[in-house]
Amino acid sequence: MKIGIAYHDDFKQYDFGPGHPLRGYYVDGDIAFTLIKGNEKLEEKTEIIFVNPSPAEEKDILAVHTREYLDFIKGLNEEGGFITLDTPVNKGMYDVARLFAGADILAASMLMDKTLNKSFVLDMMGHHAGVDFGGGFCLINDIAIMIEFLRRNYGLKRILVFDYAVNTGHGTINVFYNTPEVLCVDIHQDPLTLYPGTGFPEQVGRGEGQGYTVNISLPPFTSDNDYLLVLNEIVVPIVNEYRPELIVTAGLNGGHFTVKINQFMQTLNGLWEIVNIFSKLSDKLCDGKLVNIGGFSVDSKLLPLGFLATVAGALNMEVDLPEPYEMPSNIPDVTNDVGDAIQNVKKIHKKYWKCV
């Protein structure tokens, strides 16, 4: 099996500066790949190719974002400034965001051309950027840019995006809210408790896209077992019914119990399970076509372990994933609340999907 990892050392220049919660070293490949390179189990089963991307072309960015918004971002790239209060733009950051999009396009194209069996991109992912807005540390939406590139150049009609970051990927949802050709499934912490304050189950899409946005909002303290229950009860059946031609998983280590900005209680083994489920779905439904985007971490100990969990999960490979920190004690049991959330999503989506 041949897998590809798209990365550029300039990714580390996507840095909002001292005191900001997002720093460039959160996506340091020298750290992230320490457990991948030279791993005997991986070398026995796979050939790993590291690929160096070029920036996405402006025409590909304009397939997602409006000219007015892009001109605004390009102005900030030259002079500096703010998209929103939480998203200052330093000079040159748009250039790095273009590299993120170029990495996604390269990884997916190599997969579609059958050069690779599985693809990974280690980047920050811009899932909070919509057609004409940014924020949440996101300038442009690299995931959406990649998807539109694939739709135009490979004629794909059914693409699944599963966003497993703890914050709603409302920018990606915004881009594809009106189309049935992209199924956006997004599991996230209750929007009433976390940025961006949207992603409610009732938000299901518009027009021809009704039913093709599946927002699943879960309470703080959601555990691995709770999360897997949601996947098996709702997500896996819908994906099987949709039968995507390509699966995109987009996430990071944000759900890990050590990440203080969020309140999910996931583990590294839980991350392995999530990616493994979608890898098996890709093998069953779309000839193994799986692209995993994201993977940065605020913690240098968690970064290489999280990336290893992602790659190993996609390859169905058992590896040792020692937790670098101790799980907190006295975590509230929210299983009943998760069960209620499952039933609510099923009630909303039963008119769109036979399986629920």
* Range of weakest confidence among 138-147, 168-177, 259-268: 259-268
301 against 237, higher pLDDT: 237
The pLDDT, as a whole number, for residue 42 is 87
Alpha helices, H only, 185-323: 224-230, 236-242, 268-285, 302-314
Reported CATH class of domain 2-349:
alpha beta
What are phi and psi for residue 22, nearest 5 degrees?
A: -120, 115
- 247: DSSP letter: E
Q: What is the pTM of this model?
A: 0.97
Q: Is 254 helix (H, G, I), strand (E, B) or coil?
A: coil
Give per-residue pLDDT as tens, 29-56.
999 999 998 788 888 889 999 999 999 9
> How sure is the predictor about 254, in pLDDT bands with cuts at 50, 70 and 90?
confident
**Do 71 and 117 meet the contact criterion of CB atoms below 8 Å apart?**
no
pLDDT in tens, 189-206: 999 999 999 999 999 999
Catalytic residues: 128
H or E stretch covering 41: helix 40-45
Domain ranges of the chain: 2-349
Q: Which of 205, 128, 139 is nearest to 169 (CA)?
A: 128
**The pair of three-digit structure tokens given for residue 231, joined into one six-digit string:** 């996947």
Q: For residue 138, give the 3-state DSSP assignment.
A: strand
CA distances from 118 to 48, 49, 121, 350 (A): 10, 11, 11, 32
Rounded to an integer, what distance in angstroms lies between the CA atom of residue 184 and that of residue 162? 6
